[in-house]
C-alpha cells in the first residue's frame, strides 16, 4: 500500500485541477493491479484525495450523501492504493489498486458489468458476493 | 468496429443517467482492447453518445469549445469502438477501443502519464508522436 507525506499531498493537490466539475470535484477511476479491470468511476473533492493519499485507501466524495466516503467502509471491501496517476490536463485520477473482495455494491467484482448488446444490457459481470449477506 | 442501430441507440440513451453532471454529461473512459491501458477520460452528452454508437468512432462533448468532438478529428488518431459497457448506476461509460496512433494530444499513447512520485510528477508515458508534427 502506498501512502504520501503531507508535504507531497499539499504539492499534488495544488497541481490538480478541481475547477471543471461543480462542487470542486475530479473523476477518479480505479483499476485492478492484477487484472487491469476498471473497477469503479466516482468523484473526489480535495479532502477525499487527501484522505486517499494519507491513508492508502481510496476515498470518494458522495454527492447524494454530501460527505466523504471511504470505499468499502460498510462492506469491508476496501481498495488499497498502489499508484496514483493523473492525465495530461491534471483533471482526473487513475488509481491502481489492490481490490479486497469486490468493488460493486451489487456484488460484482467490477461496477462495469452491463454490456450494450442486441438492444439491451447483457450482464458480463463476475458475481463475488450477495449484497443481502453483506449490507445488513 | 461496432455500430448500433438507431432503435438500439434510442433504447440505450433512455436507460443511461445524464442527470448527474451539469450540462447533461456522463464521464466516458476509453480502454485499449489489446493492452488494457486506460487511454482517456472525457465527457459526453446524449448527442456525443449517439454519434459514437452510430459511427463506431468515439465522440465526446468539449465543454471548453461547447461542441461535439470526434476523438482524433485533427490528428487522425481515431478510436474505433469495439464494445460499450456501463456501470451499476448507468451514469458512466467504459468504451473498449482500438486506438489508432495515440490517444493523447501531447503525443503519448495514453493521457495518463503523470505518476505521483517523490513529491512530483514522474513521466511514465510512451511517446508515440511529436505534437508539432501532427497539429499544424
What pLDDT is stored for residue B118 in this prediction?
A: 87
What pLDDT is stored for residue A33 in this prediction?
A: 98
CB B41 to CB A87 under 8 A? yes
Give the residue carrying C-alpha cell 450523501: A65
Q: Specify if B73 maps to a domain.
A: yes
CB neighbour list of residue A62: distance below 8 Å, 6 or more residues apart? A68, A69
Element of type H or E holding A132: helix A131-134
CA distance A43 to B27: 10
DSSP conformational letter for A108: B
Q: Specify if A75 maps to a domain.
A: yes
What pLDDT is stored for residue B19 in this prediction?
A: 96
Which residues of A fall within a CB distance of 8 Å from B5?
119
Work out the pLDDT band at A61, boundaries 50, 70, 90.
Answer: very high
Q: What is the number of domains present in chain B?
A: 1
Average pLDDT of chain A is 96
Q: In degrees rounded to 5, what are phi and psi of residue B103?
A: -85, -30
pTM of structure? 0.97
DSSP conformational letter for A21: B
Which residues of B fall within a CB distance of 8 Å from A102?
none
What pLDDT is stored for residue A72 in this prediction?
A: 96
Q: Specify if B1 maps to a domain.
A: no
Q: Give the residue, A135 or A79, on which the prediction is more confident.
A: A79
Q: Specify if B49 maps to a domain.
A: yes
Average pLDDT over residues A43-66: 97
Find the domain containing B15 and state its range: 6-129
CATH of the domain at B36: 3.10.20.810
pLDDT digits (tens, 9 = 90+) for B14-71: 999 999 999 999 999 999 999 999 999 999 999 999 999 999 999 999 998 999 999 9
Q: How far is CA A97 from the centre of its chain?
A: 9
Work out the pLDDT band at A135, boundaries 50, 70, 90.
Answer: confident
Cell of A112: 462495469
Neighbour order of strands in the sheet with A112-117: A120-123, A112-117, B79-87, B93-99, B26-32, B38-44
For residue A13, pLDDT beyond 90: yes
Q: Specify if A120 maps to a domain.
A: no
- Beta-bridge partners for B96: B31, B83
CA distance B84 to A122: 11
pLDDT digits (tens, 9 = 90+) for A21-51: 999 999 999 999 999 999 999 999 999 999 9
Work out the pLDDT band at A96, boundaries 50, 70, 90.
Answer: very high
Nearest Cβ partner of A86 from B36, B94, B114? B114
Q: In degrees rounded to 5, what are phi and psi of residue B63?
A: -70, -35
What pLDDT is stored for residue A118 in this prediction?
A: 87
CA distance A24 to B126: 30
Cα distances (angstroms) measured from residue A86 to each of A113, B67, B113, B124: 25, 25, 7, 11
pLDDT digits (tens, 9 = 90+) for B102-130: 999 999 999 999 999 988 899 999 999 99
Q: Specify if A52 maps to a domain.
A: yes
Cβ count within 10 A of residue B132:
8
What pLDDT is stored for residue B92 in this prediction?
A: 98
Q: Specify if A132 maps to a domain.
A: no
Three-state secondary structure call for residue B107:
coil
For residue B136, pLDDT beyond 90: no
What pLDDT is stored for residue B103 in this prediction?
A: 97
| Residues 89 through 118 of chain A touching chain B, CB cutoff 8 Å | 89-90, 92, 94, 104-106, 108, 111-116, 118
Does the beta carbon of A8 lie under 8 angstroms from any beta carbon of chain B?
A: yes
For residue A136, pLDDT beyond 90: no
What pLDDT is stored for residue B135 in this prediction?
A: 87
Does the beta carbon of A65 lie under 8 angstroms from any beta carbon of chain B?
A: no
Work out the pLDDT band at A18, boundaries 50, 70, 90.
Answer: very high
pLDDT digits (tens, 9 = 90+) for A105-115: 999 999 999 99
Q: Specify if A127 maps to a domain.
A: no
Pick the residue of B50, B88, B97, B107 with the most A CBs within 10 A to test the interface with A by mutation.
B88
Amino acid at each position: 500500500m502506498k501512502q504520501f507525506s503531507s508535504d507531497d499531498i499539499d504539492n499534488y493537490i495544488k497541481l490538480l485541477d478541481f475547477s471543471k466539475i461543480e462542487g470542486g470535484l475530479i473523476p477518479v477511476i480505479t483499476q485492478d493491479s492484477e487484472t487491469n479491470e476498471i473497477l469503479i468511476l466516482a468523484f473526489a473533492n480535495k479532502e477525499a484525495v487527501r484522505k486517499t493519499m494519507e491513508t492508502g485507501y481510496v476515498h470518494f466524495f458522495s454527492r447524494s450523501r454530501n460527505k466523504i466516503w471511504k470505499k468499502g467502509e460498510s462492506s469491508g471491501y476496501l481498495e488499497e492504493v498502489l499508484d496514483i496517476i493523473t492525465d495530461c490536463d491534471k483533471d482526473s485520477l487513475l488509481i491502481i489498486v489492490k481490490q479486497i473482495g469486490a468493488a460493486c455494491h451489487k456484488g460484482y467484482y467490477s461496477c462495469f458489468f452491463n454490456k450494450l448488446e442486441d438492444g439491451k444490457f447483457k450482464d458480463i459481470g463476475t458475481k463475488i458476493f450477495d449484497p443481502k449477506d453483506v449490507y445488513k
